[in-house]
């Protein structure tokens, strides 16, 4: 499969939102409750991504992965670390792929593109948060990140553990 990674544009908001919702429903199917997953909305996510790609474009770096047909099959976003961490100045916010393209190296290509971009912006210590039950934590470890933080987060009035993985570049 031929994949192109490129910067995202505001016009990509709906396609990014569709990937976001679809990947949450597959990735978190056995982690989050069904009601939370069923309430996800491509329309609401589209509005959020439009805002992110326009009003916050300077702070939120987004790349998309397109297949040969020009369809967006994944995305990655990141920027400055959002919680004032004393050690990590950059953060990989999200990387999501459609289930059918997982395991093909696309996630690695997206994440590497973002990490390299953050490095050129001066971020030499980059953090990513992942739910403890999410098998993707192994993806970050395989990319050289090490567990450095833990915290609790609330998703739909339920508490979950998140692990922070970090890269020192």
30: which strand partners?
none
Q: Are the C-beta atoms of 87 and 119 separated by less than 8 Å? A: no
User: Has residue 141 been placed in a domain?
Assistant: no
**How high is the pLDDT of residue 15?**
98
97: which strand partners?
74
CA geometry: angle 57, 66, 121, nearest 5 deg: 35
User: Model pTM?
Assistant: 0.95
User: Has residue 8 been placed in a domain?
Assistant: yes
User: Has residue 161 been placed in a domain?
Assistant: no
User: Has residue 137 been placed in a domain?
Assistant: no
Domain CATH code at residue 88: 3.40.630.30
**How high is the pLDDT of residue 136?**
87
User: How many domains are contained in the chain?
Assistant: 1
User: Has residue 101 been placed in a domain?
Assistant: yes
**Secondary element (H or E) of residue 142:** helix 137-142
User: Has residue 73 been placed in a domain?
Assistant: yes
Mean pLDDT by 10 residues, the chain (169 residues): 95 98 94 90 96 87 97 98 96 97 96 97 97 93 96 93 95
**How high is the pLDDT of residue 1?**
82
Distance CA 111, CA 137 (A): 13
**How high is the pLDDT of residue 59?**
84
**Secondary element (H or E) of residue 137:** helix 137-142
Distance CA 161, CA 169 (A): 26
């Amino acid at each position: 499969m031929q994949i192109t990674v490129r910067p995202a544009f505001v016009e990509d908001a709906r396609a990014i939102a569709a990937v976001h919702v679809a990947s949450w429903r597959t990735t978190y199917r056995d982690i989050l409750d069904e009601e939370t997953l069923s309430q996800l909305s491509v329309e609401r996510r589209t509005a959020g991504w439009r805002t992110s790609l326009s009003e916050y474009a300077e702070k939120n770096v987004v790349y998309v992965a397109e297949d040969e047909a020009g369809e967006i099959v994944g995305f990655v976003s990141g920027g400055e670390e959002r919680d004032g961490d004393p050690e990590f100045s950059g953060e990989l916010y999200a990387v999501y792929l459609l289930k059918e393209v997982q395991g093909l190296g696309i996630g690695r290509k997206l994440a590497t593109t973002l990490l390299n971009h953050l490095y050129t912006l001066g971020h030499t210590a980059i953090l990513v948060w992942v739910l403890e039950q999410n098998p993707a934590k192994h993806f970050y470890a395989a990319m050289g990140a090490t567990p450095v933080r833990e915290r609790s987060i609330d998703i739909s009035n339920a508490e979950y553990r998140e692990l922070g993985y970090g890269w020192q570049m």
